[in-house]
Amino acid sequence: MQSLLNFTNLETIDLGLFLYVSWKTLCGNEQVNLSRSIEGIVTDNAARVRFSQSLIKGENPLIKQELVEVVKGGFLNSAELKLSEKGIALLEEEGLSISTGDPEKSLLTAEKIQKKELFYGPEEMQQIQMLEQTLQEEKLNAIQKRLQDNSLPKGVTVILHGPPGTGKTESVYQIARKTGRSIFKVDISESKSKWFGESEKLIKDIFTRYKSAAKKQPLLPILLFNEADALLSTRRESASNVSQTENAIQNILLEELENFEGIFIATTNLVKNLDPAFERRFHFKIKFNSPTLSVKQKIWQNKLSFLSAVQTNTLAENYSLSGGQIENICRKIMMQEVITGTKIDFREITGFCDVELFGGNPEVKRIGFGR
């Protein structure tokens, strides 16, 4: 690679811009505003517009040589520039250390995921097992090769949908643990910036950081968009700034998924609000149903092994609880036992169930956390 100060194939104006973006990056700014960056380099207004357009359209040598990337915003003056991985590597060859945030800090490694037994109905079990097999390294390599040989995107994209508390997120964790993959978890709230134009950049940056983290992992990690309802919902036709921003975010997400090469999993409780444009982006569409009677019995027995078969059957028949709600009740039971120093009885367990459903038998005496 060429020396930092020996760009014989770059015009002075392009070299000046690269050095400016490099300097701002070294100062801790991962992205810099495109318009402001070239104000001090190009003085003529018409020339400045032409120069900006050459960058945005990818015609500038800095873009063609993959030294700088353009992060498009909602408007021309909100577009930003950032060093590419190649540009960063060039600076590091010169002994200049770049700190743009450690993408691995967002990773949860497989060995840190606690083993947890989950219970599914027959349909969910079949699909979960197929997804788990797909993500086994040998199978995934074979699948991606076949997709690539047929000129198809080689990424694996999945959406898990269903009522709250049915085990969607925990299923992702357990699949990651079993297949030895790290999880790159995205906090959706971080993509909903209050500053107009920032959300689009944050979404783009999520995929950039994921790709950077993936290169350092022995196995391809899972990019998890948990509770992604807000990002996947139907696009709005309103002309408001909020609607335009949300639509821009979804367009970026659609664009990223179109040629995605990693493993992307989204979870949602509101699949009915899913924008039709996202439907074909997901290869696996796995529905999580509310637990059946037999599944609820298994969950109760797994969580509270001291219950008899009759008692677990009574709880499963009388209370329409999700797995998440049952787990919540079990946590309260453990806390109650620690506080009182006594073993909880079956009547008290039904009391917790009543409260979890915001109702129940008024004759049941409420105690501790049940009040």
What whole-number distance in Å separates Cα of residue 174 and Cα of residue 110?
A: 9
Structure-model confidence comparison of residues 75 and 1, the more confident one: 75
103, 88 Cβ separation under 8 angstroms: no
Tokens 């040598």 belong to: 61
Q: How confident is the model at residue 101 (pLDDT cuts 50, 70, 90)?
A: low
Compare 201 and 84 and report the one with higher pLDDT: 84
Query: Residue 153: exposed, middle, or buried by beta-carbon count in 10 A (0-12, 13-18, 19+)?
Result: middle
Q: Which residue has the higher pLDDT, 41 or 365?
A: 41
pLDDT tens by residue, 269-294: 887 778 788 888 898 999 999 999 99
Report the distance separating Cα 104 and Cα 140, nearest Å: 22
| Burial of residue 343, with CB atoms counted within 10 A of its CB: 0-12 exposed, 13-18 middle, 19 or more buried | exposed
Contacts 24+ apart (CB under 8 A), 212-220: 212/85, 212/103, 213/103, 213/104, 213/106, 213/107, 213/182, 213/184, 214/262, 216/104, 217/107, 217/182, 219/137, 219/179, 219/180, 219/181, 219/182, 220/140, 220/181, 220/262, 220/263
**Sequence-separated (6 or more) residues with CB below 8 Å from residue 163:** 269, 288, 289, 290, 322
Confidence tier at 89 by pLDDT (50, 70, 90) = confident
Portion of the chain with pLDDT greater than 90, in percent: 43
pLDDT confidence of residue 132: 96
Is the model's pLDDT at 4 over the cut of 60?
no
DSSP assignment letter at 163: S
Q: What does 73-111 look like in DSSP terms, one character per residue?
A: -SSGGG-EEEE-HHHHHHHHHTT----S--GGGGEE-GG
What mean pLDDT comes out for the span 347-358?
90
Residue 25 in 3-state DSSP?
helix
pLDDT for residue 367: 39
- Tell me the per-residue pLDDT of 227-283, one tens digit each, with 9 for 90 and over: 887 777 766 666 666 667 777 788 888 888 888 899 999 999 887 778 788 888 898
Q: Residue 108 to residues 7, 182, 259, 324, 360: CA-CA distances in angstroms?
A: 40, 5, 25, 22, 40
214's enclosing H/E stretch is: helix 198-216
Supply the mean pLDDT for the chain.
83
The tokens for 56 are 């945005």
What is the pLDDT at residue 362? 40
Chain-centroid distance, C-alpha 339: 38
Cα–Cα distance, 121 to 290 (Å, whole number):
9
Enter the pTM of the model: 0.72
Exposed e or buried b per residue across 53-80, where buried means at least 16 C-beta atoms within 10 angstroms of its C-beta: ebbeeeebbbbebebbbbbbbbeeebbb
What is the rounded CA–CA span in Å between residue 35 and residue 41? 10
